[in-house]
């Protein structure tokens, strides 16, 4: 007997299958538009950030001023697994994020965040070591060969599988940027029993929409074989960090943690312009002005020092980044620095990582870190320049820990340390003997009260718990005390953290070198 219900159900199922086929075949995608309503004109390849002269929108009605600030930046990362090499030579299994764009920059110890004009280029990092575009990006045959975000999944899997980094790929954007971050879940080869979803949660980051916050109960989680693009509008300068928010104690301990920092508008103030007056101009932007908001991130300094943005005498004149740089919109130059270093503190429990690789229930209550890491490395690996690689289960060498923590400061200069801590079980302390730590911000907020009083302070040690960040300046500006060739140490006074598991020497420590000059991009000492 003919059933109308059966017929309709069959037709519906067939239509669903037909529509599902192309979706399944193209489950990986990236998103990085050349233009948006806030950035209506595409920046040409090689162009930098536009100068900041006034807000894009102002007044209660958010009236457009005609000024375009910031740019469109993009990045692609993988969610999967991999291995890292600890300082005692032990290979440790990771749940990890890995780079799928900006690979050349990440290998050089730089953020993998790229302008849209760089991200949206077709290439292959396996044959072109300078390629910084999106891995797998390909012309869309359904759009006449245009770049629409269509990708070839083969290079994504070839490069993204077992390619986890510790820490996760570094991200850096500028205030007013629009940031498109694509997470592609390539699966965990060593744990095929796990159908792990992943997310990106920007910890402490003032995100306007919970949909892009990465907390599963208020957002979405990305399945294996799928991609999702997060959207952020860079709000406030400062040092933040990010992590996967699926079973956080497990995924954080296993290595799914990274850092993101936001550069201030003050870095884009034209030469010769007053820093104070520029900060006054920012107060007309409703999104970042202070008013009576005690959480304001840009309070005016108590006095106008008359300082203008000028050339930095500690940077070689041949370097393109010759103007002074700042950690925050300070209005008085109090957060100026010469070179910056992201420093992510983390700890690993080797037993937890081993059990996590071997299909057994992980002992959460017995979790105890034995490796104490700065940017994924323990001493002496922290001072080894260049990326570290680890052989994986496919017998190939994979870049695993790209970021060294050797701190080079030009004589007479200042180094900004962007420190974040994503430990699961431990508080961590770092001490500096010989060079004072000048703490300028905590949890991405400049140390200044609403009356403009500077609350920054000097110390010889700082202590952070998991989920905290701090910005400090190592001040070697006194040339009578600091000269080229000197070596100092940044280390933990917790003696049980100065070890690499059973080795009694290593752990949470690195070196600070005073050089005659330092390249602000490569961070290498120069003559």
Residue-level pLDDT at 206: 76
Residue-level pLDDT at 320: 57
The pTM of the full predicted model, rounded to 2 decimals, is 0.91
Nearest to 194 by CA among 390, 368, 364, 362: 362
**What's the token pair of residue 422?**
């994503």
Residue-level pLDDT at 527: 63
Residue-level pLDDT at 312: 85
Residue-level pLDDT at 173: 96
**What's the token pair of residue 53?**
């002269």
Which residues in the chain show pLDDT less than 70? 1-26, 208, 316-321, 527
Q: Are residues 275 and 331 in contact, defined by beta-carbon separation less than 8 angstroms?
A: yes
Q: In 26-60, which residue ranges form alpha helices assigned H by DSSP?
A: none
For the segment 96-149, what is each residue's pLDDT rounded down to a tens digit? 999 999 999 999 999 999 999 999 999 999 999 999 999 999 999 999 999 999
Residue-level pLDDT at 203: 86
Peptide bond into 165 cis (omega under 30): no
Residue-level pLDDT at 235: 75
Residues β-bridged to residue 222:
198
Alpha-carbon distance 1 to 130, whole Å? Answer: 67
Nearest to 422 by CA among 207, 234, 252, 247: 252
Helices (H) then strands (E): counts for the chain: 7, 29
Whether the CA torsion 103, 107, 112, 117 is positive or negative: it is: negative
Alpha-carbon distance 279 to 290, whole Å? Answer: 11
Nearest to 264 by CA among 245, 274, 252, 279: 279
For the segment 455-470, what is each residue's pLDDT rounded down to a tens digit? 999 999 999 999 999 9
Alpha-carbon distance 474 to 337, whole Å? Answer: 9
Residue-level pLDDT at 3: 46
Alpha-carbon distance 454 to 457, whole Å? Answer: 9
Nearest to 236 by CA among 273, 277, 287: 287
Residue-level pLDDT at 48: 87
With vertex at residue 106, the alpha carbon angle to CA 206 and CA 330, rounded to the nearest 5 degrees, is 40
Alpha-carbon distance 432 to 348, whole Å? Answer: 23
Other Cβ atoms less than 10 A from the Cβ of 57: the count is 16
Q: Are residues 398 and 83 in contact, defined by beta-carbon separation less than 8 angstroms?
A: yes
For the segment 240-297, what is each residue's pLDDT rounded down to a tens digit? 999 999 988 889 899 999 999 999 999 999 999 999 999 999 888 877 788 777 777 8
Q: Specify the 3-state DSSP secondary structure of 106.
A: helix
């Amino acid at each position: 007997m003919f059933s109308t219900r059966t017929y309709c159900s069959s037709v519906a199922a067939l239509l669903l299958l037909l529509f599902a086929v192309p979706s399944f075949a193209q489950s990986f995608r990236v998103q990085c538009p050349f233009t948006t309503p806030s950035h209506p004109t595409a920046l040409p390849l090689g162009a930098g950030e536009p100068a900041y002269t006034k807000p894009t929108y102002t007044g209660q009605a958010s009236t457009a001023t005609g000024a375009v600030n910031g740019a469109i930046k993009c990045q692609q990362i993988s969610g999967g697994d991999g291995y890292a090499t600890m300082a005692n030579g032990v290979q440790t299994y990771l749940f990890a994020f890995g780079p799928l764009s900006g690979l050349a920059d990440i290998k050089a110890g730089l953020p993998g965040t790229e302008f849209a004009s760089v991200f949206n280029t077709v290439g292959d990092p396996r044959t072109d070591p300078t390629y910084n575009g999106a891995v797998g990006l390909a012309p869309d045959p359904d759009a006449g060969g245009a770049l629409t975000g269509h990708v070839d999944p083969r290079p994504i899997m070839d490069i993204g599988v077992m390619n986890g980094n510790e820490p996760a790929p570094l991200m850096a954007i500028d205030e007013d940027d629009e940031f498109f971050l694509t997470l592609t879940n390539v699966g965990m080869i060593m744990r095929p029993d796990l159908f792990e979803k992943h997310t990106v949660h920007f910890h402490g980051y003032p995100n306007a929409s919970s949909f892009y916050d990465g907390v599963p109960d208020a957002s979405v989680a990305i399945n294996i074989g799928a991609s999702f693009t997060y959207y952020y509008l860079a709000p406030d300068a400062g040092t933040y960090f990010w992590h996967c928010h699926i079973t956080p104690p497990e995924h954080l301990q296993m290595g799914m943690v990274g850092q993101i920092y936001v550069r201030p508008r003050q870095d884009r103030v034209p030469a010769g312009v007053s820093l104070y007056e520029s900060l006054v101009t920012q107060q007309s932007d409703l999104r970042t002005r202070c008013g009576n908001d005690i959480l304001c991130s840009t309070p005016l300094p108590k006095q106008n020092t008359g300082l203008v943005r000028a050339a930095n005498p500690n940077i070689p004149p041949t370097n393109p980044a010759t103007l002074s740089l700042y950690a925050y919109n300070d209005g008085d130059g109090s957060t100026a620095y010469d070179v910056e270093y992201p420093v992510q503190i983390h700890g690993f429990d080797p037993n937890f990582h081993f059990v996590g690789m071997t299909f057994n229930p992980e002992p959460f209550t017995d979790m105890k870190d034995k490796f104490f890491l700065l940017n994924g490395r323990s001493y002496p690996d922290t001072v080894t320049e260049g990326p570290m690689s680890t052989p994986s289960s496919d017998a190939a060498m994979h870049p695993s820990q790209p970021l060294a923590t050797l701190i080079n400061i030009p004589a007479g200069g200042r180094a900004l340390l962007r420190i974040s801590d994503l430990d699961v079980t431990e508080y961590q302390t770092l001490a500096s003997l010989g060079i004072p730590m000048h703490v300028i911000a905590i949890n991405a907020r400049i140390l200044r009260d609403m009356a403009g009083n500077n609350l920054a302070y000097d110390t010889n040690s700082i202590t952070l718990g998991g989920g905290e960040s701090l910005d400090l300046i190592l001040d070697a500006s006194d040339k009578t005390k600091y000269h080229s060739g000197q070596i100092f140490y940044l280390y933990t006074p917790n003696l049980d953290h100065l070890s690499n598991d059973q080795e009694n020497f290593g752990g949470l420590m690195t070196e600070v070198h005073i050089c005659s000059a330092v390249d602000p991009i490569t961070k290498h000492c120069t003559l």
